Amino acid sequence: MGLLRDARNIQTKDPAARSLLEVVLLYPGFHILVFHRIAHWLFRHKLLFLARWVSQTGRFCTGIEIHPGATIGDCLFIDHGMGIVFGETCEIGDNCTIYHGVTLGGTGKDTGKRHPTLGNNVLIGAGTKVLGPVYIGDNVRVGAGSVVLQNLPANSTAVGVPAEVVRINNKAVNPADDLDQQDLPDIVAMRLAALEKRIGQLEAAAQGDTPPSPQQLGLE
C-alpha cells in the first residue's frame, strides 16, 4: 500500500503524468523508491552487502543514489531525479519534493549523524546541495542551486550560496521577493550593491571634508 500511495502522489504532483500505470512503469523517481524499500529492509536486518548491492543496482537503473541506511517518509516525489545523492544518515519526512541534481551529503569523514534531516512538506530545488547534519524544518522551500550549510527554520524560504532565509511565514526578511524557480533573488548581488552604496556615501563625505555619520558607517 505504501508504494501505491507513493505512485498516486507522483501522479498528483506531476502534470506530465497521464496515468498511474505510466508512473509505475516509466518514472525513475518511483522505481528508486522500490529499490530503496528493499535495500533499507536488508540494511536494518544487517544484510549490509546485499543492501548495498540492491541500492547500487537502483543507482545503475535510475541515476539516483540512495544509501540503504537513509530513512525516507511517505509520499516522496523525486522529479526526474538524475544525479540525486542521499547519504547514509539522511532522514526525509513525509510529502517532500526533491528535484534532480540534489545532494543530501556529509562534509567529510565524520561518524554518527552526518547527513541532513528534512521535516515534512519540504521542497528542495534542482542542483541544491545540503551538507552536514543540518535540520530543515517543516514546509521549507529551498531555491535551485543553493548550498545549505546551516539549519533552516520551519515555514521559511531560503536561497543562495550559502543559503540565506529570505522569507518566514510568507513575510520577507530582506528585500528579496518570493521564491520563483526562474527568478531567484541574488543574495550576493544585493550585498555588493549595499556595499557599493556605503562606499559612495563615505567617498562623498570625505570629498566634502565632512566626517561620515554613524548611519553611513552602518553603526546604526
Enter the C-alpha cell of residue 157: 524560504
**Do 42 and 127 have their domain in common?**
yes
CATH assignment at residue 7: 2.160.10.10
| Strand pairing category for 164-168 and 171-172 | antiparallel
Better-predicted residue by pLDDT, 103 or 206: 103
Least confident window among 28-32, 45-49, 108-112, 144-148 = 108-112
Enter the C-alpha cell of residue 197: 552604496
Four-residue CA torsion sign, 187, 143, 103, 165:
positive
Buried b (16+ CB within 10 A) or exposed e, 152-187: bebbbbbbbeebbbbbbeeeeeeebeebeeeebbeb
Better-predicted residue by pLDDT, 112 or 35: 35
**Do 151 and 206 have their domain in common?**
no
| C-alpha to C-alpha distance for 30 and 79, rounded to whole angstroms | 9
Residue 37 in 3-state DSSP?
helix
pLDDT at residue 219 greater than cutoff 60: no
Number of domains present in the structure of the chain: 2
Residue range 44-57: mean pLDDT, rounded: 96
**Do 136 and 196 have their domain in common?**
no
Better-predicted residue by pLDDT, 208 or 42: 42
Enter the C-alpha cell of residue 160: 543562495
Nearest to 147 by CA among 198, 138, 134, 217: 134
| C-alpha to C-alpha distance for 121 and 75, rounded to whole angstroms | 10
| C-alpha to C-alpha distance for 43 and 172, rounded to whole angstroms | 43
Nearest to 28 by CA among 87, 92, 119, 100: 100
**Do 149 and 210 have their domain in common?**
no
CA 101 to the chain's CA centroid: 10
Q: What is the pLDDT of residue 220?
A: 53
Q: What is the pLDDT of residue 123?
A: 95
The owner of cell 511517505 is 74
Under 8 Å between Cβ of 101 and 83: yes
Under 8 Å between Cβ of 71 and 96: no
What pLDDT, in 10s, does the model give residues 133-185?
A: 999 999 999 999 999 999 999 999 999 888 888 888 877 775 444 444 445 56
Residue 53 in 3-state DSSP?
helix
Least confident window among 62-66, 93-97, 182-186 = 182-186
Under 8 Å between Cβ of 7 and 20: yes
Residue range 52-58: mean pLDDT, rounded: 96
Better-predicted residue by pLDDT, 217 or 52: 52
Enter the C-alpha cell of residue 116: 541532513
**Do 12 and 99 have their domain in common?**
yes
Domain ranges, residue 199: 186-220
**Do 98 and 116 have their domain in common?**
yes
Under 8 Å between Cβ of 34 and 3: yes
**Do 24 and 38 have their domain in common?**
yes
Better-predicted residue by pLDDT, 1 or 26: 26
**Do 166 and 216 have their domain in common?**
no
Under 8 Å between Cβ of 154 and 140: yes
Q: What is the pLDDT of residue 136?
A: 96
Q: What is the mean pLDDT of the chain?
A: 86
Nearest to 166 by CA among 147, 186, 182, 150: 186
**Do 143 and 193 have their domain in common?**
no
